[in-house]
Amino acid sequence: MAWVPTLYFCKGLPYVILMTVSLVLYKQMGLTNAETTFYTAWLHLPWVLKPMWQPFVAQKGMLRWWILGSEILTGAALAGVALTLPAPFCLQASLALFWLAAFSCAVHNYAADELFLRTQGPRHTPVYWTRTVFYRLATFAAQGILVMMAGNLQVVYRGSMGYSWSLVLYGVAGLSVLLWIYHGLSVPAEKRRSIYRITSKRSIAQTIGEAADTTRLFFRKPAVATATLFMLLYRLPEGLLSKVSVLFLIDASHRGGLGLSPQEYGLVAGTVAVAGLSLGGVLGAMAMVRGGLRRWLWPMAAAMSLPNIVYLYLSHALPGNLMSIALCLFVEQLGYGFGFVAYMMFIKRYVSGYLKAPHLTLAKSLMALSMMLPGMLSGWAQTMTGYRDYFLLVVLSGIATIIVTWMASREIKKSSRRKTK
């Protein structure tokens, strides 16, 4: 399975560019915080709509072709963004092409995971963990190396933002083409059967009907209100923070930001913070194996919300020491990585059953919605309040996390009692 590492690197690289690097790009291109967060939040939409297109991607024998098609389409879309950035109509064109890249990236993400599951060996093989490692390496490459490269090119070309980012994205598009060629030679066809089969117009209609029935059954499950609220609100602080935190780090000091250069941002957010996120995920997985969700739900909920205080501190202190900033980001991402494990474990527990796969898709759609909606409004709210008051609002939004965690904890206890009986 030599194709697994590069496949998951190719899965992570465009996703991080779309969700994080695009914020730096548009901020440097002169958009306001409200515009930047509103436009980029829409890039979550293909993941929100995943239940609508997943049955068509999951057809037997088609996953390899979806992977190859989405890879070349993503590369072409990013090349298109690079081509249009120096143009007067760069905003409209780049947003349209970024959305096209987002849709092909969402398809690729699903097809890659599904192909891996249909061709993998035992779950705890080195190959299984390799995909996580290379996905994190893609995060480091996009959020760290690419942003630092753009900053260095801006020095070389004397502050030419559009041209510098164009060169970076041309490089990513070229890498996408090389990976596409390699995957065309190495990625196998799947072995297991798909739960969806489309052979005619009639069966297409049947598939749509089955998807609708699956959705109805999902919302008729026991404790669906608790589960839905948990999926939407557990990550509310992170939904409010994820985009504005990037803008805060690079915004000028006279606007209340830290004024980091792209090189400094790439170092602290693309390396140190990613290391904290990865370590938090590992520690969370180890804790979950030893104690289970019932024991670790509350500690992980606290880890998800409390470290957000570091941004409140940063907005007041405005430290000039890069090590202090890096330490704060490490702590915040360590807590998020640790707390996110409980979120995923609750979802997997809730969707268990004979419809686990399609119900997990619906749950992940709600996950994407939980980031999209707060993200759309976050820049506007920050503009209205300023960074200091906004980060206070983010900390207070942790109350929603506490409420839904309490609701979920009660439901887990009830479920445990029913099983013991």
Cα–Cα distance, 24 to 146 (Å, whole number)? 11
H or E segment and range at residue 149:
helix 147-156
pTM for the full model?
A: 0.92
State whether 242 and 372 are in the same domain: yes
Q: What are 389-404's pLDDT values in tens digits?
A: 999 999 999 999 999 9
Q: pLDDT tens-digit profile of 140-182? A: 999 999 999 999 999 998 878 888 999 999 999 999 999 999 9
- Containing structural domain, residue 35: 1-196
Which of 134, 164, 196 terminates a domain? The answer is 196
Report yes or no: 119 and 188 within 8 Å, Cβ to Cβ: yes
- Look at residue 215 in the predicted model and tell me its pLDDT: 77
Looking at the fold, whether 74 and 153 belong to one and the same domain comes out as: yes
Which has the closest alpha carbon to 118: 279, 1, 288, 21?
1
By the 8 A CB rule, do 36 and 23 touch?
A: yes
Query: What is the pLDDT at residue 267?
Result: 94
Contacts 24+ apart (CB under 8 A), 324-332: 325/249, 325/258, 325/260, 325/268, 326/267, 326/268, 326/272, 326/273, 327/272, 329/268, 329/269, 329/272, 329/273, 329/276, 330/272, 330/273, 330/275, 330/276, 331/276, 331/307, 332/273, 332/276, 332/307, 332/308
Same domain, yes or no, for 25 and 81?
yes
For the chain, which ranges sit under pLDDT 70? 60, 121-128, 191-204, 206-207, 210, 353-355, 416-421
- Residues 173, 229: one domain? no
CATH label of the domain that carries residue 5: 1.20.1250.20
> Is position 201 within any domain?
no
Spatial distance between the Cα atoms of 249 and 273, rounded to a whole number of angstroms? 13
Asked if 236 and 404 count as a contact pair (C-beta separation under 8 A), the reply is no
405 close to 64: Cβ distance less than 8 angstroms: no
Same domain, 75 and 126: yes
**Structure tokens of 75?**
């590369």
pLDDT at site 220 = 82
- Dihedral, 101, 135, 260, 316 alpha carbons, nearest 10: 110
Residue 177 shares a structural domain with residue 232: no
Q: In this predicted structure, what is the pLDDT of residue 61? A: 75
- pLDDT at site 1: 72
**162 and 259 in one domain?**
no
